[in-house]
Amino acid sequence: MSDLLLLGLIGGLTLLLLLTLLAFAGYSGLLAEVAVSAGSPPIRNVTMAYKFHRGPYGETGRLFTESCSVSPKLRSIAIYYDKPHVVPPEKCRCVVGSILSEGEESPSPELIHLYQKFGFKVFSFPAPSHVVTATFPHTTPLSIWLAARRVHPALDTYIKERKLCAHPRLEIYQQDQIHFMCPLARQGDFYVPEVKETDRRGRELVETSNAHVEGTGVEGAEGMSDTSSVSLEVSPGSRETSAATLSPGVSSRGWDDGDTRSEHSYSESGASGSSFEELDLDGEGPLGPTAGP
């Protein structure tokens, strides 16, 4: 009889543990609806302190810790420039940091000096007129893991189905929510100098390779084709790049033949560059919010 009682106690504790884990996962956002829409941005123009990272996105945790350690009360922000499931992990680029000020407010010189003391740089970007956006609960550390696996696929699907030019990808961490934002206009304003420098080097390498190909003839062109396609980095484009300026008649990757953007960047999603006029920015009708998987 005591053995049965012991087994029953173990079973009850196991069931209680499973229910607790399920409740924790639900509270973290496991069952939260992921609604993606196009409209106004969740933030205004921003000044941020950041550190540039090139490598696996999974290694950025220390940067979040560093930025929060400098000023725990500030909101964290991250900007991702490359698709982690396409670009080799060691070549993925992003920035992580803290929002120093938003809107008309200017950051205090003391705050800027404090972040610069710990190796952070300062960067500002405006509020775009239109963005693709989504939110996810930020209640526990598990929320971040769940958001990465639920929100990003939903954003990819929304952008691909509507053939939008939406990049790069921003994450803004509020107290109880994570805001995801992909600008549909002025994308170049969101590219920090380090990313633009890698783009410049990539273009120079491609131009050098093309010049060498022209000098070596057809055989040389065949031999250099693979190298050129691999070495090309994503370009942020002009500071006035807009989905409205791209016509539906461009290539399958959404760029003109002469464009130097990489098909591996988040900007690949602009397959035909739908204009703002084609979007239902009020979230109604056939182009309204999309629930994530």
Round to whole Å and give the CA distance between 236 and 283: 28
pLDDT of residue 259: 32
Residues facing 183 on adjacent strands? 131
CATH 3.20.80.10 at 33-195, yes or no: yes
Whether 282 has a pLDDT exceeding 60, the answer reads no
Q: How many CB atoms lie within 10 A of CB 247?
A: 10
Round to whole Å and give the CA distance between 30 and 163: 28
Please tell me whether the overall predicted TM-score, pTM, comes out greater than 0.75 for this model: no
Question: Tens of pLDDT along 140-155?
Answer: 889 889 998 999 999 9
Q: Which helix (H) or strand (E) holds 39?
A: strand 35-39
Is residue 271 within 8 A of residue 252, CB to CB? The reply is: yes
CA-wise closest residue to 46 among 189, 243, 240: 189
69-78, 145-154, 175-184, 218-227: which has the minimum mean pLDDT? Answer: 218-227
54-58, 182-186, 269-273: which has the minimum mean pLDDT? Answer: 269-273
Round to whole Å and give the CA distance between 263 and 118: 35
Domain boundaries, the chain: 33-195
Whether 228 has a pLDDT exceeding 50, the answer reads no
Give the CA diameter of the chain. Answer: 90
